[in-house]
Amino acid sequence: MNEDFIYLDHAAATPLDRRVLVAMQPYFSEQFYNPSSPYAPAVAVRRSYEDAKHALARNIGVKPDELVMTAGATESINLAFNGIDGHVVAPNIEHHAVLAAAQARDCTIIKADSRGFVSADSVKAALRPNTQLVSVAIANNELGTIQPLRDIAQVIKVEREARLMRGDTTPIYFHTDASQGVGQIDINVARLGVDLLTLNAGKMYGPKQVGLLWMASHVRLSPQIVGGGQERGLRSGTENVAGVIGFAKALSLVVKHRKYESERLEILRDKLQKKLTAAFADSVVSGHPKHRLAGHLHISFPHLDAERMVFALENRHVLVATGSACAANKGTRSHVLMAIGLAPELADGSLRLTLGHLSTEENIAMAGDIIVEEIIREYARVKR
């Protein structure tokens, strides 16, 4: 990372932790063998790969044979929906990958409230006798709002038990995309109460294009990629040994340091928020005031051109986002902000500032000063 830049877009991508790179390096070169080959060096690589899967499983409280390794969260999400031929439920603020998968099927898209909060009651009201999958992200990637997964899981458990009582064997599964905020919130699946869970190494200081889907033993899905039968026959292809080993190391590190890091980021985030809201009394902070990721600050400035601000701040060596990287790449107004009813003049003036390992007290203070200066300059330009 160029040390001249202050990076405030950790929700889009995180830098590879040097300790993760060290763990991966041998598997790019001398330990290059195909883990499916029968000779001793390949068997040793297979053992390393399986050890990494054990470490991943241990850190989310599951069995290693319940994991399916994928090429990132989008593939994992698509696999979670593969083989679901009944009704599905998802909130209107989900990642595009979830919404696209849901809308390709019979679906009900439920509404989050103005804070981006999805209530268990709204999920309950959307259930039908043929509902097979409910998908709710553990935390929203734009607003940082943390969802009440345990309450939603209880609704699904009651529905599942009611079906069994009347002799209905239609399955109903609960999936969560837990890619966002892994280093800040607990992702133990037993405590979350989910049946399927998506993770993405690239959001936790691990390698990009590496992900996983955890499936409880009772879940039945269809293969996503057919061929050699790897990953329980659900995702064929030669295993990404270096990537999975890096993923395991990254997850172990963020879980180990989660409490300290979340407390550190919350302090920095609150200082930045206080500085910006003090400078601009009409600014609006979105997301749940209490149940929010420690490193997330979504703030809107009325009638500001946020896209211009992104480039103006880059010229001052501060890197920020207007929303998710997917929406920014398409040049469209964020569907999340539209879903929570944020007024257009606020939505178009929104910045998503996400903190992480690269954030320090010094550079966050400096970033706050620069953002204030550039917003004042932009407002002055518009008034001329």
Residues 88-143 pLDDT 10s: 999 999 999 999 999 999 999 999 999 999 999 999 999 999 999 999 999 999 99
What is the C-alpha separation between 95 and 103, in angstroms, rounded? 12
32 Cβ contact list (under 8 Å, min separation 6) = none
Residue 330 has pLDDT above 60, yes or no: no
CA 246 distance to own-chain centroid: 18
Phi and psi for 214 in degrees, rounded to 5? -90, 130
pLDDT digits (tens, 9 = 90+) for 71-102: 999 999 999 999 899 999 999 999 999 999 99
Stated pTM of the model:
0.93
- Looking at domain 6-15+258-383, its CATH architecture is Alpha-Beta Complex (3.90)
Q: What residue spans in the chain does CATH classification 3.40.640.10 cover? A: 18-256
Helix (H, G, I), strand (E, B) or coil at 213: strand
Domain 18-256, what fold? Answer: Aspartate Aminotransferase; domain 2 (3.40.640)
pLDDT digits (tens, 9 = 90+) for 231-266: 888 888 889 999 999 999 999 999 999 999 999 999
326 is annotated as an active-site residue: yes
Q: What residue spans in the chain does CATH classification 3.90.1150.10 cover? A: 6-15+258-383
- DSSP string of 222-238, one letter each residue: --SB-SS-TGGGTB-S-
CA 62, 65, 71, 77 torsion-angle sign: negative
What is the C-alpha separation between 337 and 125, in angstroms, rounded? 23
What was the pLDDT predicted at 282? Answer: 96
**Beta-bridge partners for 321:** 352
- Choosing from 326, 338, 365, 372, the catalytic residue is 326
